[in-house]
Structure 1
Amino acid sequence: MKKGLVILMLVVMVTGIMAGCSSKVAPEDTGTQGTEVENGSQEPVKLRVWHIALDAKRREAVQNAVKRFEDANPHITVEESAFENDPYKTSLATSMAAGEEPDIFISWGGGWLEAFIDEGKVLDIDEKIDAVADNYFDSALSLFEINGKRYGLPYSVGPSPVYYNKQIYAELGLEEPKTLAEFENNCDVLLENGYIPIALGNASQWPGALTFINLSLRMGGADTFLDAYNRENGVTFEDESFVKAGEIIQKWVQKGYYPEGANATNYDTGGSRMLFYSGQAAHIVQTNGLVANSAAEAPEFRENNLGFFVFPEIEGGKGTSTEILGGGNGYSIASSTKHPEEAFDLLVALTDKDFGQDSVDLASAVSGVKGVEISDPLIQKVQDLLVESTYIQNYYDQFLPPELGNMHKQTTYDLFGMTTTPEKAAADVEKLAVQILGPSN
């Protein structure tokens, strides 16, 4: 992946914003004409879709899109399957290796998708996207551009801020922090008053990685990660910014900012979210998915108590509060599909304006498609945060090649578990980076 592409994927996001369990949704016989073959008959077509919309509201949006598509194409049957995040990645890699991949699969772009592209597993749909590209924010669409070609369509985009309980803040007279020192002071006050400062369920490793990336971004700024990835300017993953991020995490663990057993608690099944919703924990560092989760799981809490702020700046750090962590979700098509035309039509249906409106109304998600109306002030605030940002750092495990992304998650997990040191964690990532990406120049 060339540096120009890297910057396009991450920085252009601002410009665009500004401008498993299987379930089959049965089609209704509406008489709508679908794709016809030469003899005038309609051949039955079956398409399989894999996604991670496990909660009821997000899955309802997916199923609504599937039903609309099946109603318009009665000869097509769609089987959609939902997975937890990390099991999905494992299952997809296994199915790809066995030649049993679904027709359409959820994707995040970056090095994760590029690895499958290099193996010839992803359909090149760049020319087809030309016909629908204007319907999507450039910010979201650019995530799926690899080496000058687009391999997917986006359905959501969002930041990963610090969420907090407004009622607890009001009770203790706390204010939204602007600096890390102010945030740590708030956490100390929370500890003194019997609250868990930060909820965390890190069994799947990626939730803790959000804090690591935020800290390293604040310490090193945007260029440090890009230089380390591109192996330029002598910067490596042993840079001080990565080591310092690990030191801060371990300081917070030692001070008791996190709940006992955080590394054994599964975020995907809701353990850490329940600590947050119940008022036992005052903060949680999470993706924009928390806005959707809370709407389904704790609507009263979301309505009255849910607030968020950008990750605080670090005194002496190179990063600023307008450089934020975030990412997007979308779908790509497997090159093995027997029905590329129908698969692309379904891809559009899973990401179009109707789906985007459902995502906002049902699941409180920030859509990657244009023309969606937002009436929820919390979702509007999320979109405003994206508009005001000057740089959006994609998640390391989505941006980096899969093996390197996994090493990043494992070493961060070990930092939270106090089973490694910040220096060794950085060295382990860099050692693998040299093997995969080459030495830094």
Structure 2
Amino acid sequence: MSKVKASLLIGLLSVMLVSLVGCGSNNAGSTDTSSGSGKITLTVTSSMTDEARINIMNETIKIFNQTHPDVTIEYSPSAWSEYAQNLKLSFSSDAGQDIVYVDDTMQQMLQKNNYLMDITGDVKSRGWIDKEVDGAIDFQNARTPGKYYSVPFATAPVVVYYNKDIFSKLNLTPPKTMDEFNAILAKVKEAGYVPMENGGMSNMPKMWSVFHMLYNQAPMDDVKQFYFQKGITPEFEKAFTSALNQVNEWERSGYYRQEDASIDGSAVPSYYAKGQSAMVLGGNWDIPNYEGTNVPTGAFAFPKQDASSKTHAIVNATDGGWALNTNLSAEKKQAALDFIDTFMNPDVVKLWYEGGTTPTIKADMSGAQASDLKKEVDQAIQGTQMGFFLDNAVPGLFDIVNKQLQLMSFQKTTPEGAWAEIKQEYEKLSVAAQGQ
């Protein structure tokens, strides 16, 4: 996600503790891995706190326990807003979980402090690279080329969800270019609808809009240079400023909900459910939220720059990856690796696919049941290229970009001023990150 992923801000549940015990009641409460009893307890955490994914996780653990009846999985997720801090605190106090789900920023933080296990040899010996779609594991471990610290099982594409009734009434079709997109925004506003939802102070849709536009205006090599803390090229700076200007123009034109006072974006599905919102940017993890609104909803990829564009990149990175605590015993390590391997079981892939995820695991999903919206999201991203969640370029950057978007909303800064602050803080944060 993480890339910072809004899914996790809109979870239906707050922090939950789910303790799942392997088959056989005599496993309960046993954490002894040295007595020869063969019983193991693995602690697992992620930021997947929404009810749908907790249910899928429960089913996944049941499948794992079919072949590992003496392994107890204690799954304790925490909300995205707290997750990174919880990981930092738990590992720094020697209480880190055995298996953790990390996005790029979190993986950087833990790996640089030697909290994560290098599982390169295991990834290769278990054939996981061949089981994953091309490049997925390398993308997840892009900052440590040749070494693997985590293994993904899903990607996190951000698409534009749209109200089909509004589009039909106004005789609109999903746009292919930015000019078409802007024309739709103007027409929707003129008709009295809310063109786009943003989520109050969270600004996730605005941020993703900036990233989408940047991908289609700046060379990908320049984007990678920024992402890997190698500096900022003039072309990248020009594209980022241009994207901020476009978002600012949308704000000034009244294309976002004016009375939105929500803080964390959790109100977006509720606003959308009223049937007065034409569009909202969201991840594939939002599919259940929009299916539950009873608003006829479709999806399309954020449009490319113009008809002549040869590439079409969208915000779509690996959602995160399973990583292991570096202090695991050999016995626990093998059980933990087997747990990761369970996510490559076709039956498990099917569970997550039908629950709304876009798997990185190669598996035949032709017989899987999927909603119309799920199918539409998958179809929408066909032919697009993967793009980073750029706020993950350096720890702390999300807060900087979000703050500047807020100041732009309040007309306390200009897009150029916002970029100047983002650039300055990026350079400071990059130095700090490289010095860790």
Deviation at 1:382, TM superposition (A): 3.6
Q: Does 1:27 align with 2:18?
A: no
SS in 1 for 2:347: helix
Q: Which has the higher helix share?
A: 1
**1:327 maps to which of 317, 322, 325:** 317
**2:100 maps to which of 102, 105, 115:** 105
Equivalent position of 1:371 in the other structure: 363
Match runs of 1:338-353 below 5 Å = 338=329, 339-350=332-343, 352-353=345-346
SS in 2 for 1:53: coil
CA distance in 2 between partners of 1:191 and 1:207 (Å): 18
Equivalent position of 2:53 in the other structure: 58
**1:96 maps to which of 87, 91, 98:** 91
Residue type of the alignment partner of 1:240: K
CA distance in 2 between partners of 1:195 and 1:30 (Å): 56
Match runs of 1:252-331 below 5 Å = 252-262=250-260, 264-267=262-265, 269=266, 271-295=267-291, 297-298=292-293, 300-301=294-295, 305-314=296-305, 322-329=312-319, 330-331=321-322
Residue type of the alignment partner of 2:358: V
SS in 2 for 1:63: helix
**Contact 2:119 2:148 (C-alpha < 8 Å) held by counterparts:** yes
CA distance in 1 between partners of 2:409 and 2:344 (Å): 36
CA distance in 1 between partners of 2:98 and 2:33 (Å): 20
Equivalent position of 2:114 in the other structure: 120
**Contact 1:310 1:324 (C-alpha < 8 Å) held by counterparts:** yes
**Contact 2:132 2:361 (C-alpha < 8 Å) held by counterparts:** yes
Residue type of the alignment partner of 1:245: A
Equivalent position of 2:241 in the other structure: 243
SS in 2 for 1:160: strand
Residue type of the alignment partner of 2:256: Y
Equivalent position of 1:198 in the other structure: 196
Equivalent position of 2:161 in the other structure: 163
TM-score using structure 1 length: 0.82
CA distance in 2 between partners of 1:307 and 1:97 (Å): 44
Deviation at 1:306, TM superposition (A): 1.7
CA distance in 1 between partners of 2:414 and 2:102 (Å): 32
Equivalent position of 2:414 in the other structure: 421
Deviation at 1:326, TM superposition (A): 0.7
Match runs of 1:201-220 below 5 Å = 201-220=199-218
Residue type of the alignment partner of 2:49: L
Residue type of the alignment partner of 1:197: P
CA distance in 1 between partners of 2:80 and 2:33 (Å): 38
**Shift in alpha-carbon separation, 1:265–1:347, aligned structure 2, 3 A:** same
Q: Could you tell which deviates more after superposition, 206-215 or 347-356?
A: 347-356
Deviation at 1:351, TM superposition (A): 5.0
CA distance in 1 between partners of 2:337 and 2:364 (Å): 22
Residue type of the alignment partner of 1:155: F
CA distance in 2 between partners of 1:352 and 1:414 (Å): 47
Q: Deviations over 1:20-43 (max 9, x none)?
A: 2111123332999xxx9898x424
**Contact 2:299 2:376 (C-alpha < 8 Å) held by counterparts:** no
**Shift in alpha-carbon separation, 1:417–1:71, aligned structure 2, 3 A:** farther
SS in 2 for 1:414: helix
Q: Does 1:187 align with 2:185?
A: yes
**Shift in alpha-carbon separation, 1:89–1:332, aligned structure 2, 3 A:** same
**1:430 maps to which of 408, 423, 427:** 423
| Unaligned ranges ≥5, structure 2 | 1-14, 432-436
**2:78 maps to which of 75, 80, 83:** 83
Deviation at 1:368, TM superposition (A): 1.6
Deviation at 1:282, TM superposition (A): 0.8
CA distance in 2 between partners of 1:59 and 1:237 (Å): 43
Q: Could you tell which deviates more after superposition, 280-289 or 236-245?
A: 236-245
**Shift in alpha-carbon separation, 1:127–1:412, aligned structure 2, 3 A:** farther
**Contact 1:86 1:204 (C-alpha < 8 Å) held by counterparts:** no
Residue type of the alignment partner of 1:256: G
Equivalent position of 2:6 in the other structure: none
Deviation at 1:320, TM superposition (A): 5.5
Q: Deviations over 1:203-231 (max 9, x none)?
A: 44544321121122233242332243457
**Contact 2:205 2:282 (C-alpha < 8 Å) held by counterparts:** yes
User: What's the RMSD between the two structures over aligned residues?
Assistant: 3.1
Deviation at 1:124, TM superposition (A): 0.8
Equivalent position of 1:152 in the other structure: 150
Deviation at 1:178, TM superposition (A): 2.2
- Matched residues, number: 405
